[in-house]
Structure 1
Amino acid sequence: MELDNRLPFPAMAFRQFDTEGDLDCIVSVRGTFNHVQDGIMEIAREQESFQWEDAYEDDPHQTVLLRQSDLTPDKPGTDISFLGDAWSPLREPETSWQASICVGNVSKEVEVCGPRFWQPVIKEKWAGFSAKEPKRVISDWTLTEPEPTCKVPVCWTKAYGGVIPGTGDAETHTPPDVERRNPLGCGIVTLDMPAGTPPVRAPQITSVGERLDWKETPEPQGLGLVSPWWQSRQQYTGTYDDAWVEKRHPLLPQDFDNRFWQAAHPDLIAAPHLHGDEGYELRNLHPEHPVARGQLPGLTLGVHCQRADRDAWYVLKIDGVQFDWRNDGRVLLTWRARFPLADADGTTLTLTRVRLKSPESENHHAEKETA
Structure 2
Amino acid sequence: MELINRLPFPAMAFRQFDANGDLDCVVSVRGTFVHRQGQALAIAAKQEDFQWEDAYDGDPHAGPLLRQTDLTPEKAGTDITFLGNAYAPNGAPARSWQVGLRVGELSKKLEVHGPRFWRPVIKEKWAGFSAKEAKHVLTDWQLTEAEPASQVPMCWSKSYGGQVPGTGDPETETPADVEARNPLGCGIVNLEMPSDHAPVAAPQITLPGETLNWREPAAPQGLGLVSPWWRSRQQHAGTYDDVWLNERHPLLPRDFDARFWQSAHPDLVAVPHLAGDEDYQLDYLHTRFARALGRLPGITLGVRCVGHDRDEWHVLSLDGVHFDWRDDERVMLTWRARFSLAEALGTELTLTRVRLNVEADAPGGVAA
Contact 2:64 2:156 in 1 (8 A): yes
Contact 2:305 2:343 in 1 (8 A): no
Q: What is the correspondence of 1:300-311 to structure 2 with a 5 Å cutoff?
A: 300-311=300-311
Alignment length, in residue pairs? 366
Q: Distance in 2 between matches of 1:261 and 1:14?
A: 17
Q: What is the correspondence of 1:114-263 to structure 2 with a 5 Å cutoff?
A: 114-127=114-127, 132-263=132-263
The residue that corresponds to 2:320 in the other structure is 320
Q: Distance in 2 between matches of 1:345 and 1:358?
A: 27
Contact 2:6 2:350 in 1 (8 A): yes
Structure 1, unaligned runs of 5 or more: none
Contact 2:110 2:208 in 1 (8 A): yes
Deviation at 1:174, TM superposition (A): 0.3
Q: Distance in 1 between matches of 2:186 and 2:125?
A: 29
TM-score, with structure 2 as normaliser: 0.97
Q: 1:254 to 1:146 in 2, by over 3 A?
A: same
1:353 partnered with 2:357: no
AA aligned opposite 2:223: L
AA aligned opposite 1:330: R
3-state SS of 1:48 partner: coil
CA RMSD of aligned residues (A): 1.5
AA aligned opposite 1:36: R
Give a deviation string over 1:271-300, Cα, whole Å, max 9, x none.
Answer: 000001100000000010000000000110
Q: Distance in 2 between matches of 1:343 and 1:311?
A: 10
Contact 1:101 1:107 in 2 (8 A): yes
Q: Distance in 2 between matches of 1:279 and 1:184?
A: 32
The residue that corresponds to 1:40 in the other structure is 40
Deviation at 1:135, TM superposition (A): 2.4
Give a deviation string over 1:28-80, Cα, whole Å, max 9, x none.
Answer: 00000000101111000000000000000100000000000000000000000
Q: Distance in 2 between matches of 1:161 and 1:364?
A: 48
Give a deviation string over 1:317-345, Cα, whole Å, max 9, x none.
Answer: 00000010001111000000000014854
Structure 2, unaligned runs of 5 or more: none
Q: What is the correspondence of 1:2-151 to structure 2 with a 5 Å cutoff?
A: 2-127=2-127, 132-151=132-151
The residue that corresponds to 2:298 in the other structure is 298
The residue that corresponds to 1:276 in the other structure is 276
AA aligned opposite 2:199: P
Name the stretch that deviates more: 305-314 or 96-105. Answer: 305-314
Percentage of identical aligned residues: 66
Q: Distance in 1 between matches of 2:236 and 2:128?
A: 52
Q: Distance in 2 between matches of 1:347 and 1:289?
A: 48
Name the stretch that deviates more: 253-262 or 123-132. Answer: 123-132
Contact 1:22 1:342 in 2 (8 A): no
Q: Distance in 2 between matches of 1:7 and 1:39?
A: 22
Q: Distance in 1 between matches of 2:263 and 2:111?
A: 22
